[in-house]
Amino acid sequence: MSDQSARAERLLSGKRAIITGGASGIGLAIAKAFAQHGAPVCILDRNLDGALGGAREISASGAVAEARACDVSESDSVRRVFDGIFAQGRVHLLVNCAGVAHVGTVTTTSEDDFDRVMRINVRGMYLCLGATVAHMKQHGGGVILNMASIAASAGLPDRFAYSTSKGAVLAMTFSVARDCLKDNIRCNAISPARVHTPFVDGFVAKNYPGREAEMMKELGQAQPIGRMAEPEEVASLAVWLCSDQASFVTGVDYPLDGGYMNLRG
């Protein structure tokens, strides 16, 4: 491939991006893909060591990346970190990946666990959205991508708090998309089914000790396509949705589910 062809394929060239929850899994895959497509990326995560490792890996490839510690559920942390990033220049893209999962029904989910999931998955996204929308309005627009889940739309067993939080993510996505049409800000969501990440490995080990192999097989076969998605597959869709090629797309939830929503049964 010629240098000219390689440059032509860089869909996000010069578009500065913030990725929350970018230290591992889907968030890290998106950060890498954005960087490959020419976007300077800022990885935010509570796990600063992981975020720094991701940023170093991206920088070693010749792309531009930095990392900052941020607890998205704390307004002071979000305000301080986002203001610092904005002080360095315009941000064109925000990807909200930070989130946690939980196993439980409405009767087995404790108040503390419910509040924890809502604080990170819902309040955290609200705070990051509020900070970034205000900035984008001042600078001519931008693109926001929120990581939702099929749990927002499908009745998954034992996922009461998580499903509730992801339903709120979709509602926030549609609301921001509607309210920001006049400000040249697009806002969409991706709703993955099962994605094979280190988070999933740890989640299975914690919640199904001794049954890891069985549960991994079951999680893969839950998708009609017969496997879990890879983080890079989510990242490829994220690149397109945040690029000018998707300039007519806003207020949309994209299921990336291996046929889960429409081909079950």
Total domains in the chain come to 1
Q: Kind and range of the H or E element at 57?
A: helix 48-60
Angle at 153 between CA 150 and CA 157, to 5 degrees: 75
Question: Confidence band (pLDDT; 50, 70, 90) for 264?
Answer: confident
The answer on pLDDT for 114 being more than 70 is yes
Instruction: Please report where in the chains the tokens 């942390």 appear, as a residue.
Output: 77
The answer to which of 91-95, 141-145, 154-158 has the lowest mean pLDDT is 154-158
pLDDT at 206: 87
- The b/e string for 183-217 (b: 16+ C-beta within 10 A; e otherwise) is eebbbbbbbbbbbbbebbeebbeeebeeeeeebbe
Residue with the larger pLDDT of the pair 101 and 131: 131
Tokens of 67: 């990392």
Res 56: pLDDT: 98
Structure tokens at 135: 């900035």
Quick: pLDDT tens for 186-244. 999 999 999 998 888 887 898 899 999 999 998 899 899 999 999 999 999 999 999 99
- Chain-wide mean pLDDT for the chain? 94
The residue annotated as part of the active site, out of 162, 208, 254, 260, is 162
Provide the token pair at 136: 């984008």
Q: How far apart are CA 68 and CA 66, in angstroms?
A: 7
Whether 148 is covered by a domain: the verdict is yes
CB atoms within 10 A of CB 5: 8
Is residue 91 in a domain? yes
pLDDT at 9: 75
Half-sphere exposure of 212 (CA within 13 A, CB side): 9
pLDDT band of residue 100 (cuts 50, 70, 90) is: very high
- Tell whether 234 is covered by a domain: yes
Q: Mean pLDDT over residues 107-130, rounded?
A: 98
Model confidence over 4-62: pLDDT tens digits? 444 447 999 999 999 999 999 999 999 999 999 999 999 999 999 999 999 999 999 99
Is 162 designated active site?
A: yes
Q: Please indicate, yes or no, if residue 154 is contained in any of the structural domains.
A: yes
Report if residue 208 sits inside a domain. Answer: no
The pLDDT score that the predictor gives to residue 265 is 67
- Note whether residue 22 is domain-resident: yes
We report the CATH number of the domain holding residue 55 as 3.40.50.720
Domain that holds residue 153: 3-193+229-257
Q: Is residue 52 part of a domain?
A: yes
- By percentage, how much of the chain surpasses pLDDT 70? 97
Rounded to whole angstroms, the Cα distance separating 115 from 1 reads 51
Mean pLDDT of 56-81: 98
End-to-end Cα spacing for the chain: 44
Contacts 24+ apart (CB under 8 A), 128-131: 128/18, 128/20, 128/72, 128/78, 128/82, 128/94, 128/96, 128/98, 129/94, 129/96, 129/172, 129/176, 131/78, 131/79, 131/82, 131/83
In this predicted structure, what is the pLDDT of residue 4?
42
H or E element in which residue 185 lies: strand 185-192
Amino acid at 13: S
- Residue type present at position 97: C
What's the confidence (pLDDT) of residue 207? Answer: 80
* Predicted structure pTM score: 0.93
Is residue 222 domain-resident?
Answer: no
Nearest-CA neighbor of 56 among 78, 90, 23, 19? 23
Q: What are residue 93's DSSP bridge partners? A: 17, 143
